[in-house]
Amino acid sequence: MKYETERREIVKACQDMNRRGINQGTSGNISVRVKEGFLLTPSGMAYDEMKAGDIVLMRPDASHTGKRKPSSEWRFHHALMTSRREVGAVVHTHSMFATTLSCLGMEIPAVHYMVAAAGGENIRCAPYATYGTQETADNAVKALQDRNACLLANHGMIVIGPNLKKAMWLAVEVETLAAQYWRALQVGKPNILPKAEINRVIDKFKSYGQAKEPAPACC
């Protein structure tokens, strides 16, 4: 089977996001870039029953191959994959706290410095549009300008990343930020960090973590 490794990784990630509590049922969807376009979860399939062969291959011209119909949200996956060449994976979930804020039409401000992981001083909330429409795709692309995450009003969240592992990490982080913000609002008015501080954090993130291992010497 072509792209079997990537297909299996998508299935595992779908099952993981439900087990982690950042999604439920068949509501979320995932795509991963491949040479011929991108792989996408099928429409309306229970993740615990999904197999690698159920993952759909979508091409840049929006045609698809496979025995299943692609996710009803294929349009925003397609729009992001074609407009953002650096994107290797897109993860969409209906996580509880991010969706709660989106139902209020609220963005996530810099209530915690980790908002910088999404690329800026806030995580925007895109206007509502009926799911699966081009309008939803257009709204998402706009909300994700210079960002790696956004909320969709009355819907959920979208995150993007260079690969599936990093996109899944960011999805968990966005839900954590949404939960922190929601809880802080129950007590009082949260203290919002200034843009200059978030810019400093973004700069510090560039050298965060372990350095990459040097490539082995040839021969």
- The catalytic site residues sit at 73
**Residue bearing tokens 């925007």:** 124
Question: Residue 68: how many CB atoms within 10 A of its CB?
Answer: 17
d(CA 45, CA 9): 16
Query: Residue written as tokens 């969706």?
Result: 99
Strands, sheet with 156-161, edge to edge from the N-terminal-most edge strand: 64-65, 56-58, 37-40, 29-34, 89-93, 156-161, 149-152, 125-126
Contacts of 122 (CB under 8 A, 6+ apart): 107, 108, 109, 110, 115
76 close to 160: Cβ distance less than 8 angstroms: no
CB 42 within 8 A of CB 73: no
Relative to beta strand 29-34, strand 37-40 is antiparallel
Pairing of strands 89-93, 37-40: unpaired
